[in-house]
């Protein structure tokens, strides 16, 4: 509960970020998320250093001139940019929407695990997910799509984040009573 209520999206992130081995270790835990059929309909692409610059240049080339510098700079906001690629198993008995739910659950689990290790992260989407040039640059197959990227690093704040108040959700829960049960009551 502590990790869930204290995790926040962090816009400013610095070194260190998890190395590839630590990222993979945390991903092993996140991969325990529900995944009907154990299809693992996802994969990650890790970008650091000049790889982030190449992605920024790719996206900036598609933008109007007045936005190009900002778009290129945005790819450098964190020392690690981890792209989540949705790789559904098409034609499988597990429908695509359920595979997407598995990928999303795994990504949130990873964010919680990163937070528990002291890393910050923020989920980014936008032009990156719609860009055919970025799709090609990252080597995605035709049936794959980039769901978003996690910017990952160490946040500025040294103190622990404030604990969020749990949201009131009672109005979002109901109990089903079959007609025969409610008539008997």
DSSP string, 32-97: TS--TTS---EEEEEE-HHHHHHHHHHHHHTS-HHHHHHHHHHTTSSSEEEEEEE---TT-SS-HH
Q: Token pair of 121, please? A: 């992260």
Q: What are phi and psi of 157, to 5 degrees?
A: -65, 130
How many other C-beta atoms are found inside a 10 Å radius of the C-beta of residue 4?
Answer: 12
CB 20 within 8 A of CB 56: no
Domain extent at residue 86: 2-184
Question: Helix, strand, or coil here: 101?
Answer: helix
**From residue 23, how far is each of 31, 71, 110, 111 by CA, in Å?**
12, 26, 9, 11
pTM (global) more than 0.75: yes
Give the DSSP H/E element, type plus range, for residue 123. strand 120-124
Strands 42-47 and 145-155: unpaired
DSSP β-bridge partners for residue 44? 84
Domain CATH number, residue 87: 3.40.109.10
Domain total of the chain: 1
**Secondary structure letter of residue 161 according to DSSP:** P
From CA 81, how far away is CA 145, in angstroms rounded?
Answer: 16
List per-residue pLDDT tens for the chain, 185 residues long. 888 888 989 988 999 999 999 999 999 999 999 999 999 999 999 999 999 999 999 999 999 999 999 999 999 999 999 999 999 999 899 999 999 999 999 999 999 999 999 999 999 999 999 999 999 999 999 999 999 999 999 998 765 667 777 788 999 999 999 987 656 56
């Amino acid at each position: 509960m502590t990790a869930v209520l204290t995790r926040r999206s962090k816009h400013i992130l610095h070194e260190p970020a998890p190395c590839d081995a630590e990222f993979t270790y945390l991903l092993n835990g996140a991969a325990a998320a529900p995944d009907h059929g154990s299809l693992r309909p996802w994969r990650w692409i890790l970008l650091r250093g000049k790889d982030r610059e190449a992605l920024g240049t790719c996206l900036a080339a598609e933008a109007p001139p007045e936005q190009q510098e900002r778009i290129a700079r945005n790819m450098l906001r964190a020392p690690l940019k981890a792209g989540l690629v949705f790789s559904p198993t098409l034609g499988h008995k597990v429908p695509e929407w359920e595979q997407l739910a598995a990928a999303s659950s795994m990504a949130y689990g990873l964010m919680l695990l990163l937070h528990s290790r002291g890393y910050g992260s923020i989920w980014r989407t936008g032009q990156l997910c719609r860009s055919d040039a970025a799709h090609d640059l990252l080597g995605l197959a035709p049936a794959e799509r980039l769901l978003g990227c996690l910017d990952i690093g160490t946040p500025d704040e040294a103190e622990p984040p404030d604990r969020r108040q749990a949201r009131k959700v009672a109005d979002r829960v109901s109990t089903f009573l079959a007609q025969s049960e409610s008539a008997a009551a």
